Amino acid sequence: MAENKKLRILCIHGYRQNAKTFREKTGALRKLTKKHADFDYITAPHRVPPGNMGSAAWAGLPAPDEKGSSCDTQTADPGERGWWFSREDEYFKSTDYSDVSVGFEQSVDMLRKVLEKGNVESCEQSDSFQGYDGVLAFSQGASLLSMLCLIQQKEQRKWFKFAILVAGFKSRSSKHSHHYQEKTSIPSLHVYGESDQIVSNEMSEELLQYFDNPKVWIHPGGHFVPATGPQKHMYVDFFKEMQKL
């Protein structure tokens, strides 16, 4: 890839978020890196049920009111979404050791299609298809991305060339353990906060063993995508390196 060509990056939100809210929360990141990358955002297929109060902090938001959102589309306001649930009652918690993985396969199938066509909006591959250069994901989305990286390598796919995992963790669902049987050689950047109270540093560090030569950036904050002055060089330097692939 020419060094001056912008990267195309697919962004996968965290639990209780959606494409719109994640785009808003990464506005500073897009501004810092606008010369180097364009970002597409996708919404998970599963609605978090109204009244599911237990994990509001995952989205960095206060808990919703009892009515929640009645909209179930990607185009308007899809409400709070998740990529899978760790309990049968449609609840998710990263620390759950569980035999449950409600909705996971549907999410993987959805992302397969998007990565193969290289476009979130269109249902078909366009004549100007170029695919995604990389994927950026947060929290539950980053856990899912870790498995997509391993699936991609196992199946010898070429969906994307690099991964950025913010507040990522290894899934504790027994349904996912077969994905974590080997390492992936995909270039990766792992970002997590020293004071993250939602995904512990130990959980993010546990994930590193499945990546060859992972780059790691630890910021002083909590459960969010950091994008202030000190982080600019980290992202830009990584993107410049990825533009050479």
Residues in the chain: 245
> Is the Cα torsion angle 177, 206, 85, 111 positive or negative in sign?
negative
Which among 46, 176, 219, 223 is annotated as catalytic? 223
pLDDT of residue 64: 34
CA triple 193-198-201, angle to 5 deg: 45
CB-CB contact of 241 with 214 (8 Å): no
Of 94, 98, 107, 139, catalytic:
139
| Catalytic hit among 36, 196, 204, 219 | 196
Active site residue 127: no
Residue ranges with strand state E in the chain: 7-12, 37-42, 46-47, 81-82, 134-138, 162-166, 188-193, 215-219
Secondary structure of residue 77 in the 3-state scheme? coil
CA distance 218 to 227: 12
Rounded CA-CA distance 206/18 in Å is: 26
Residue type for 50, please? P
Q: Measured in whole angstroms, how far is the alpha carbon of residue 150 from the centre of its chain?
A: 14
- For residue 130, the tally of other CB atoms under 10 A from its CB is 11
Whether 223 is catalytic is: yes
Is 176 an annotated catalytic residue? Answer: no
Residue 127 has what pLDDT?
52
pLDDT, position 128: 55
Q: What is the pLDDT of residue 16?
A: 97
pLDDT reported for residue 130: 76
Positions of the chain with pLDDT lower than 50, given as ranges? 53-74, 123
Residue 2's pLDDT is what?
A: 56
> Please, what are the domains in the chain?
7-49+73-243 (3.40.50.1820)
